[in-house]
A = this chain, B = another copy of it.
């Protein structure tokens, strides 16, 4: 594959060809045997390991261009591959072979009074579009997850990683061919033209779902342009609510971990809610911990009455995903106020209560409408690996289809199957 970003390329026609090839490949993949899919994954992993030098050379080109164009250190860091990240990529692909094949599973097959048996069969979605930025390992991860779930995929990586992505895609397609599966099951868009995203997002005939992975700007753009369904989350404004019936030590441990274990993930806590009856027992200790780790606190008047060193929080703070060492803190008078706060300001991503009170735990679980709702656990657990999905293609805060961490199952849906013996409708 070469860079097709050349004057004169008929982009809509090119994308249509890509779509048609993906649709055709998706039909083959939908009924591909588990063994063939696993063999392809194994071959991909071997090819990636074998081509380590080529991958690193291609990546060095991308990294040099990024440096030349003055990209910041974090950007270059996300883009850069080394021997250990290439090995990790190969291992990640190989691990998908160990996951159960979700496709074709029949469940709930029950006899109806008419004599027919009715149940569900799990089936691939068809063609998955993935739009992503910088990290080249997404090329291998996403291709592997789509393949195992029986979907064809169209990958559109960032232009900054084009050489790296092409080198990885070559290994992926070699693996497909080695297993007798269509190479077009994984297509990497070879042009860096930004108009590709808009086309991909509106190819309803050829794309069944689009998954944007990257910064909020990218995701918002894809969501705004899309007519195809988009699996996404925009924000992770996650809360921990320390109920009055919480064990103070547990509350401090969870509030610390949820904020500081890592600052940038979407499941990191951004707002701490504390019941007024326990605030004076947990906030001073927490303020010390956060201060030692350099976390800036922004509190409402109730919180500042206990920890006067906090800056005042503004209305904007309650809606902000800091993705860094800043935390907003509010003292609330009841579990109701906490639940209301989360409904009003949250992003329906992940929210946790710390409590020893059965009724409050049950209310929080039921009434908080987020993709993950937790009792006495750190929000940082909202993750496909921690949930046992084996792998994750993203996190969804959609209300339909998949919510929360999306693994193989989220890349499938269920059709109805009916087994009869000649029944007709009366």
Interface residues of A (CB under 8 A from B): 27, 30-31, 104, 110, 112, 114, 116, 118, 121, 123, 125-126, 208-209, 229, 247, 250, 253-254, 256-258, 261, 343, 352, 363, 365-367, 369-378, 380-382, 386-388, 399-401, 403-405, 413-425
Give the Cβ gap from A19 to chain B, nearest Cβ, in Å.
15
Known: A229-B229, A415-B369. A401 touches B403 (CB 8 A): no
Known: A31-B367, A400-B208, A424-B380. A417 touches B257 (CB 8 A): no
- Greatest chain B CB density within 10 A among A123, A208, A261, A367 is at A123
Specify which chain B residues have a CB less than 8 angstroms from the CB of A110 in the assembled complex: 388
Copies of this polypeptide in the complex = 2
Cβ-defined contact, A415 with B371, below 8 A: yes
Cβ-defined contact, B114 with A365, below 8 A: no
Enumerate 7 A-B pairs (CB-CB under 8 Å) in ascending A order. Answer: A110-B388, A371-B416, A373-B417, A374-B419, A378-B423, A381-B418, A405-B416
Cβ-defined contact, B370 with A418, below 8 A: no
Cβ-defined contact, B261 with A365, below 8 A: no
**A380–B125 Cα gap in the complex (Å)?**
25
Closest Cβ neighbor of A115 among chain B residues: B377
Q: A404 touches which one: B114, B366, B380, B415 (CB < 8 A)?
A: B415
Known: A114-B381, A377-B423, A422-B376. A416 touches B403 (CB 8 A): yes
Q: A372 touches which one: B247, B261, B378, B415 (CB < 8 A)?
A: B415
**A415–B396 Cα gap in the complex (Å)?**
10
